[in-house]
Amino acid sequence: MEDNRPDVFLIREAIRSANVDAHLEVLADGEQVLRYIDTLDRDEAAQCPELIILDINLPRRSGGEVLQRLRKSAKCADTIVLVVTSSDSASDREAVAKFGVNEYFRKPSEFDDFMKLGPIVKNLLGGGD
């Protein structure tokens, strides 16, 4: 769940470069994500994503609000969550950690450093070496 197109591009590139076979669904704001979670909870046939990549600085609803709702979901409470954010604030890390974030990745300014996200995703999905 990311609202910044260049960051979405970099996330896609990092995942591709790590040879992770994944379908990415991009939701641009926190309100859309909350509706998505509610839809999953109402649809018995719907499957939760294996992994959610979440920016904590989303428009309309914060990533923290999204994470709280996700952890209360009837179906998706145990979904793996990777926070990818520009914030390196200790308080932001603590705030999301209490909701069971699996990994926290601060968006770097260098392309090569951003590509380190791919192996993290691969590992979280059980494909690490």
Structural domain contains residue 34:
yes
Domain containing 64 — which CATH number?
Answer: 3.40.50.2300
CB 3, CB 56: distance < 8 Å: no
Structural domain contains residue 48:
yes
Structural domain contains residue 65:
yes
pLDDT range class, residue 3, cuts 50, 70, 90: low
CB 97, CB 83: distance < 8 Å: no
Tokens coding 58: 């989303």
CA 80 – CA 47 distance, rounded (Å)? 13
* Mean pLDDT within 29-46: 93
CB 82, CB 103: distance < 8 Å: yes
Predicted TM-score (pTM) of the model is: 0.89
* Enclosing domain of residue 10: 5-124
Structural domain contains residue 129:
no
Structural domain contains residue 29:
yes
**pLDDT over 60 (residue 129):** no
